[in-house]
Structures are given as C-alpha cells and as structure tokens.
Structure 1
Amino acid sequence: MYTVKCAMASRGRRGGASAREDEPRRDEQAEQQAPAPRGPVLPPPPPVDYGVFMQGLVQVMQTQAHTQATLQAQLEAQVE
C-alpha cells in the first residue's frame, strides 16, 4: 500500500509541473491559430419563447401518440 501511494504522489508532482509549463504555450497557440472572422457580424438571435416551444412540443407528442395508436390498431386488424 505504501509503495502505491509513493508512486502516485511522485507521478502527481511530475504531471503537475509539466502541465503548468504547457498551459501558456497552449494559450499562445490557440490565439495564433484562431481564424479571423469573415463576412458581416450578425446580430444575436431573438430570445426564445419557451411557452410557444412547449406548446409545439406537446402537440407533436400528441400527434405521435395518435399516429402510433392508429398504426397499432391497423396492425391488430391485419393479424385478425
């Protein structure tokens, strides 16, 4: 048990040191590789009306349930 803790502790120290050294390099590379925006800048999208969204979702689910019931009835009629 003691050897496992020592190995994990030493691994953590090495990993932590190398991660800190790499972080600034990653940030610099991300800034250099980011493409410049092209074309016109668009305005933000309009806010979502979640009440309307939920009404539409309920309607779709009701239609799906009705369609499924109809298809089930047709399948049972064919079996008989």
Structure 2
Amino acid sequence: MASRGKHGGAPAREGEQKREEQAEQQVPAPQGPVLPPPPPVDYGVFMQGLVQAMQTQAHTQAALQAQLEAQCGTYEDCVAGES
C-alpha cells in the first residue's frame, strides 16, 4: 500500500513535509520565567479542609439566622419585611 499524507489523500510532496517539520521546530520559546511544576496534591488533606470550610459556613449561617430571628421574630418575618 502506498504511503499517504497526514489527511489520507494523495501522498504528500517532500516540500510540504519539510515545511511542516520546520514549522513544528520553530515553536517560539515561552516568554517570562519558567515556573517549576506545582507540588503534588494530597487530596485527603484537601477534602478535610473542604469539609471543615463547609461546616464553618453552615455554623456561621445558622448563627446569623438565629441572630436575625432574635431581632425580629422569625426568619420569614425578617425577609417579608424587606420587600
């Protein structure tokens, strides 16, 4: 079977192949400082922090709701009075 070009059509000409190879080699160098790869992630620690943050948020929300209810009766009364 005859070799074909990258697109499965007629065989690519040598000039086209050379131009493609040269274009691939002329990738510009990255600008600015080259950063090291990020450190590996410990997903167990990440999940513990996420759960703790969610618990803290729930606790804060409950405390704020309790404070609102203490000021104006029920939460629904406070919300209904705003509109």
TM-score tier by shorter-chain length is 0.5 to 0.7
Aligned match for 1:41, one of 25, 34, 41: 34
CA deviation vs aligned residue, 1:33-76 (integer Å, no higher than 9, x gap): x6531234222111111011000001100000000000110111
Structure-2 residue corresponding to 1:76: 69
- Coordinate RMSD, CA, aligned: 3.0
Q: 1:77 to 1:41 in 2, by over 3 A?
A: same
Greater relative contact order (Cα < 8 A, sep 6+): 2
Structure with the largest fraction of helix = 1
Give ranges in structure 1 of 5+ residues lacking alignment: 1-27
TM-score of the aligned structures, taking structure 1 as reference length: 0.52
- Residue 64 of structure 1 corresponds to 57
Q: What is the TM-score with the length of structure 2 in the denominator?
A: 0.51
Q: Which runs of 5+ in 2 are unaligned?
A: 1-19, 74-83
Q: After the TM superposition, which segments of 4 or more aligned residues of structure 1 sit over 6 Å from their partners?
A: none
User: Aligned residue pairs: how many?
Assistant: 55
